[in-house]
Structures are given as C-alpha cells and as structure tokens.
Amino acid sequence: MAEPLLEVSDLSVAYLTEAADVRAVDQVSFTVDRGEFLGIVGESGCGKSTLLFGVGQLLSPPGEVVGGSVIFRGSDMVRLTGDELRNMRWRDYSVVMQSAMNALNPMKSIGAQFKDTLQAHGSMSSAEIRERSAEVLKLVGIDPTHLASYPHQLSGGMRQRAMIAMALLLTPQLVMMDEPTSALDVVAQRSLMSKIKELQQRLGFAVLFVTHDMSVVSRYSDRVLVMYAGQIAEAAATEEIFEHPLHPYTRGLMSAFPSLRGPRRELLGIPGSPPDLARPPAGCRFHPRCPEVMPVCLSHEPELYPVGGAEVRCLLYAEQAKEAV
C-alpha cells in the first residue's frame, strides 16, 4: 500500500488562557492518502476547525499544539521552524477558509493577492504571474478580468471560488477546507461543491474537509471522521458510516436526517449539549447524552477500537476489539 500523504499522530491542541487550559483537540490520529477526500464532521465546538488549523500550523495565541506529530511529505510539521515551514506552505498544502469576505484582504485586488503568493515562493516574471493567475481563475470558472477586482466587488459565490483558485496556485497535494460552503445559499453550495470535486479529480489533490453539514459529506467524501468533544468518535469509509453507524453519537446524527426516500420516521435529535472542554466529563465524554450508556461508561475512557474497516471510540465495542486481537 502506498505511503499516506499526511499522517497525524496523537495530535493535541490546547488554548492556554489566564483562566484555564482548554484541550480543544485531544490525541487525535488519522491519515490521509493521496487524492483522498476526507470529511471531518461534528457539532460546533467539537474541535474540528481547531484540528484543521493545528494540522496546518496556523494556530494563533492562545492556541498551541501541545503534543503529537503531523508527518507530511516526510517531515514533522510540528517540529519545523521558520523558513522550512514557510517553504511548505501553499506549495505542498493550502487552506480555504469559511468566509472569503473575511479571508481575502479587502484592500488588495484579487490579482495582487495571487501575485504576492507567487512571488513568495519563487521567481516568476510578471507575465508568468499574470498567466498563472488567469489560468487558476479559469479553472474555477471566473473571467480573468476579475484579477483587477476587489473582494467586495465580487458576489459571494465568486469570492469563494476565487479563494479556491488561490489555493490551487501552486498545485498543492493537499487542500484543507474549513466549511467553505457554509456562507452560501443552497444552490451556490451545490455548484461550489461539484466544482471542488471536479477539480479534485482533475488535479489529483487530497482534500481535508471540515463541515457540520452531513449531506455534503455523504455525497463527496471517501472517508469520514466524526469528532466529539475534541476526540475522534468514529472513523470509517463514507458508505460504512451512513449505512452502519456504530457510535451512538453517529447514530444520533444519522437519525436526525430526514430521508427523501424510504419510510417516514420520527426525527430525533441528540438531547443535551456538548461538554465544556475545560471540565470534560469523567469516563466517556459522550456518556451524559448517550442513549446506550452503561455503568462502566462513567468511569472508563474508551479508546479507539477497530471494528471491521472502521474505528469507534465506544465501550460497546471494547469486547469485540479484544476478541479480534
């Protein structure tokens, strides 16, 4: 089997504040293969965006990586410093943020923002820069005359696509996306997602896609990570997760989904709310809200147990995993 593109091992990210230290990401491990589309889902506050920025070394104080490693193209990004890291940025991996209106510098034209990226990573002539900039814009379906436009002069959908074009300037192998469709209406969302998938298949880059929207994940991703309270609750291939969700949390998410086909059934939510990560519950972090809670869940923290091709952090499967060994 080919070596994975990205290997995250026991990554932990904490917010070190005057009041308390909060572990937003707690010993998360996963891999991403070349060209793979990995979806990361969870409620707001579960740590998925923090995970993304932790992997990308983009945390701002008071957030910090406090443990683990991120092996990407042979180097551990957590240990890299200064210029080494800077060289990898955008060239090997790029980032697309949630709101282009906020992620694009309002005082610079699109062309200028493309230009400074290209200039930071090599010496292209002005003509080459213009050519490449026009090329990526065309890739996402924007007329290259908009290189002279400012972000506020473009429509919402165009802005998001411009951001994606910018992310592809140096043809990175991995593109990390933090809910890039949340700010759009449903139609624009659909259009943008199919464009992303098309580009992915054409150019072959892997995608790390953070979202709270299960429908996007179900349609476009190869594998899914479900996060809860800073930990991975379940990790499996997309089909597996949607057909046979294992973790009670995942099951709760699925059952909250109205289905267009199939029999009518009651829509259930998940009662309660996510825990305060400054003071997480003892034992399994999901136990206060779990419909299948057992006495042992209150005192024992489950590990990530392999079940078939999936991994589940739930004591329901602890026996199974032990037997399999």
Partner 1 sequence: MRYLTRRIGLFLITLWAALTVNFVIPRVMPGNEAVAALGAIRNVNPAALHALEIQFGVNSHQSILSSYFEYLGNCLTGQFGVTAQGVPVMTEIFSKLPWTLGLVGVTTVLAFVIGTVAGIASAWRRGGRLDAVLPPTLFITSTIPVFFVGLLLIYAFAVKLNWLPLGGNYSVGATPSFSLPFIWDVLKHALLPGLSLVIVTAGLWVYSMRNNMITTIAEDYVKTARAKGLPSRRIMYDYAARNAILPNLTGFAMQLGYVLGGAIVIEYLFSYPGLGYLFYTASTNHDLPLMEGLFLFYTLAVLICVLIADLLTAVLDPRTREA
Partner 2 sequence: MATDAASNTAITEPAAVTDAEVRAEPRRFTRAVLHNRKAMVGAVILLIMVFVAVFPGLIAPYDPQATVGPPNASPSSAHLLGTTQLGQDVLSQLIWGTRLTLWVTVVVSVIATFISMIIGVTAAYIGGLTDRVLTVITDVFLILPVLPLLILLSAYLTPGVSSLIIVLTITSWAFQARQLRSQGLSVRNRDFLVAARVRGERPLYIILVEIVPTMTSLLAASFLALAVFEVGFAASLQFLGLGNSGELMWGTMLYNAQQAAALESGNPWWALAPGLAVAVMGAGFALVNYAFDEIGNPALRPVRRGKRRGRASA
Task: Using CB under 8 A, list all residues that contact partner 2.
Answer: 16-19, 41-44, 57, 61-62, 64, 80-83, 85-86, 89, 182, 186, 212-215, 218-219, 238-239, 242-243, 252-261, 268-270
Specify whether the CB–CB gap between 13 and 25 falls below 8 A.
yes
**201 scored as a contact of partner 1 (CB under 8 A):** no
Tell me the helix, strand and coil percentages in the chain, rounded to 5. Answer: 35, 25, 40
In the chain, what is the straight-line distance between the N-terminal and C-terminal CA atoms, in Å? 22
3-class SS of residue 280:
coil
Q: How many CB atoms lie within 10 A of CB 2?
A: 6
Residue number, 155 or 194, with CB nearest to partner 1: 155
**103 scored as a contact of partner 1 (CB under 8 A):** yes
Closest by Cα among 178, 179, 162 to 111: 162
Residue number, 163 or 310, with CB nearest to partner 1: 163
User: Whole-number minimum distance, CB 97 to partner 2, in Å?
Assistant: 15
The residue within the footprint of partner 1, chosen from 11, 24, 104, 316 (CB under 8 A), is 104
Whose tokens are 């707690």? That residue is 26
Residue number, 97 or 214, with CB nearest to partner 1: 97
**6 scored as a contact of partner 1 (CB under 8 A):** no
Alpha-carbon distance of 126 to 130, in angstroms, equals 6
- Residue 90: which of partner 1, partner 2, none does it interact with, CB under 5 to 8 A by kind? partner 1
User: Whole-number minimum distance, CB 62 to partner 2, in Å?
Assistant: 6
3-class SS of residue 70:
strand
Residues 58-97, mask of contacts with partner 1 (x by CB under 8 A): x-xx-----------------------xxxxxxx--xx-x
Residue number, 60 or 125, with CB nearest to partner 2: 60
**121 scored as a contact of partner 1 (CB under 8 A):** yes
Enter the tokens of residue 319. Answer: 């026996």
- Residue 102: which of partner 2, partner 1, none does it interact with, CB under 5 to 8 A by kind? partner 1
- Residue 91: which of partner 1, partner 2, none does it interact with, CB under 5 to 8 A by kind? partner 1
C-alpha 4, offset from chain centre: 17
Alpha-carbon distance of 306 to 320, in angstroms, equals 9
**143 scored as a contact of partner 1 (CB under 8 A):** no
**115 scored as a contact of partner 1 (CB under 8 A):** no
Residue number, 53 or 114, with CB nearest to partner 2: 53
- Residue 253: which of partner 1, partner 2, none does it interact with, CB under 5 to 8 A by kind? partner 2
- Residue 99: which of partner 2, partner 1, none does it interact with, CB under 5 to 8 A by kind? partner 1
User: Whole-number minimum distance, CB 236 to partner 1, in Å?
Assistant: 29
Alpha-carbon distance of 57 to 41, in angstroms, equals 20
Whose tokens are 């489950």? That residue is 302
Q: Amino acid identity, residue 211?
A: T
Enter the tokens of residue 95. Answer: 């980032």
Closest by Cα among 223, 213, 244, 231 to 287: 231
Q: What are phi and psi of 279, to 5 degrees?
A: -135, 75
Specify whether the CB–CB gap between 210 and 49 falls below 8 A.
yes
**Binding region for partner 1 (CB under 8 A):** 53, 56, 58, 60-61, 85-91, 94-95, 97-99, 102-109, 116-117, 120-121, 150, 152-153
